[in-house]
Amino acid sequence: MTRILKNLIFLLTGVMMMTSFSGCEKKQSYKVICPRGFENVKESYEPGEQVRVNMRFFATDTSYYFYSNDVVLKEDYDPQEGEIFSFTMPEHDVLISMYSENSMVYDPSSYVPRTEEYFIAQIEECELVFDYYEATVGTDGGDGYDEFAIYREKDGRLFMAKYSQWSGGEKSCRACEITDTIFNNCMEAVDRHNMRKWKDGIAITGELYVVKFREAERTIRVSSDDMPENGLEAFGEIREALSKGWKFFGPKD
């Protein structure tokens, strides 16, 4: 009986130690990066935590635009707290950006129509927030590529450019304005397939797929060279979201 009692004590002690050690594990936390003037911003947040930050002080005769490439911001307003932004913390840092402009100055001569030519001219000046690239290489049917690139203007609005070049032909570039929904659908596919953590996967021959996107203050690149067995499903979902957006908003000619 004494031996059984000793073994039971050792077993219980081991369980208690394991429970104690597991409770000491520190969960990964991430930052919310905001412009100056934001309040109630904690040093870090755990994934799944509800984030609620606000900005109270606004200059008169000024228009403000807020956006994030990392999450969908829910906006609200309170007379005491000002503009309130809330979202669920993902498993990465979040950058909230702000753009402001004088709303009382209007110069009719400075108005530029937002045409396809306008968007193409803006490409070099705007931030690339999402890019999807697919290419066929080394095949008898002819090499080439299609690319969808989403850019964000300084006022937060998005537009998309489509690049194509096949079988040695000329490179084409078309562009159109889009809604945030298309960008959000692409990022939902990235999250659903856990694409940020792809590594040491399988590669395919004759084809290449690449996705790039901005997250907080860095650019993440994911390719078909390191994808899991069902990786083509992720690229397919992104391609479908972008193609539908292009079909709806893109040039009709």
d(C-alpha 145, C-alpha 239), whole Å: 13
Least confident of 82-86, 128-132, 135-139, 242-246: 135-139
Q: Which residues pair with 70 in a beta bridge?
A: none
d(C-alpha 162, C-alpha 150), whole Å: 9
pLDDT of residue 101: 78
Q: Could you tell me if 168 and 98 are in contact, meaning their C-beta atoms sit under 8 angstroms apart?
A: no
What is the mean pLDDT of the segment spanning 156-163? 95
Token pair 């390191």: residue: 226
Does 22 score more than 80 pLDDT? Answer: no
Does 253 score more than 60 pLDDT? Answer: yes
What is the mean pLDDT of the segment spanning 142-149? 92
What is the mean pLDDT of the segment spanning 203-210? 92
pLDDT of residue 210: 97
Does 13 score more than 70 pLDDT? Answer: no
pLDDT of residue 137: 80
Question: Which pLDDT band holds residue 191 (cuts at 50, 70, 90)?
Answer: very high
Q: Name the percent of the chain lying above pLDDT 70.
A: 84
d(C-alpha 214, C-alpha 212), whole Å: 7
pLDDT of residue 2: 60
DSSP string, 200-223: S-B--SSEEEEEEEEETTEEEEEE
Rg (CA), the chain: 24
pLDDT of residue 7: 56
Least confident of 66-70, 98-102, 154-158: 98-102
pLDDT digits (tens, 9 = 90+) for 82-102: 999 999 999 999 999 988 877
pLDDT of residue 109: 60
Q: Domains plus CATH for the chain?
A: 32-102 (no CATH), 112-249 (3.30.1560)
What is the mean pLDDT of the segment spanning 18-40? 77
Does 154 score more than 90 pLDDT? Answer: no
What is the residue-averaged pLDDT of the chain?
A: 87
pLDDT digits (tens, 9 = 90+) for 101-116: 776 666 666 566 889 9
